[in-house]
Amino acid sequence: MGCKGVQVEEIWSLDPEFTADLGHVYGLIFLFKWQNNKGYAPPADDNADHVFFANQVINNACATQAILSILLNIDSDDVELGEELKNFKEFTANFPPDIKGLAISNSELIRSVHNSFARSDPFVNETVDPNAGKDQDVYHFIAFTPIHGALYELDGLSKGPVNLGPCNDTNWVEKANEAIRKRMDSYGSSALHFSLMALIKDKIEQMEEMIEETDGILLSLSEDDVEARNKANQDRIMYNQVLQQELEKRKKWHRENVLRKHNFIPIIYNLLRNLAEKDQLDPLVAKAKDKAKNR
Q: Which residues are catalytic?
A: 62, 140
Nearest Cα to 199, choosing from 37, 25, 48, 44?
Answer: 25
Return the amino acid letter for 84: E
- Cα 109 to Cα 79, 95, 266, distances in angstroms: 19, 19, 31
Cβ 109 vs Cβ 1: under 8 Å: yes
Sheet holding 150-154, edge to edge: 6-11, 194-201, 25-33, 139-147, 150-154, 162-166
Distance CA 29, CA 40 (A): 18
